[in-house]
Amino acid sequence: MQRHIISVSSITYAIKGRDLLRKQGIKAYIERKTNQNGNAGCGYVIVAEGNRQKITGALMNSGVKILEINSIV
C-alpha cells in the first residue's frame, strides 16, 4: 500500500483534506512535519494511504491545493 505525505497551505486545509479522504474510505490522518525544510505550508501534512491519483484527484477537486507530495512504497 502506497503511503503519501501531502503538504498543504494551512491547518484548515489539512483537516479538510483528511476529512474528505476519510469520507471516500481512504485512510488518512494529519501530523506535524518533523523534517521542515523551509518550504511553504503550515507545518502539518496529510498522511494518506492508497492510490496516489485517486487521493490527489479527490483533494484537488475539493479545492485543497497540494504544495508537495512524497510517496513512499
CA distance 40 to 55: 21
Q: Distance (Å, rounded) from C-alpha 73 to C-alpha 38?
A: 25
Query: Taking the complex as a whole, how short is the minimal distance between the CB of residue 5 and another protein, in angstroms?
Result: 15
N- to C-terminal Cα separation, the chain: 7
For another protein, which residue of 21, 22, 23, 41 counts as binding (CB under 8 A)?
Answer: 41
Binding residue for another protein, selected from 1, 25, 35, 40, defined by CB under 8 A: 40
Residue (of 64, 65, 52) closest to 26 by Cα position:
52
- Which CB atom, from 40 or from 72, has the smaller least distance to another protein? 40
Residues forming contacts to another protein in the complex (CB under 8 A) are 9-13, 15-16, 30, 32, 38-44, 62-63, 65
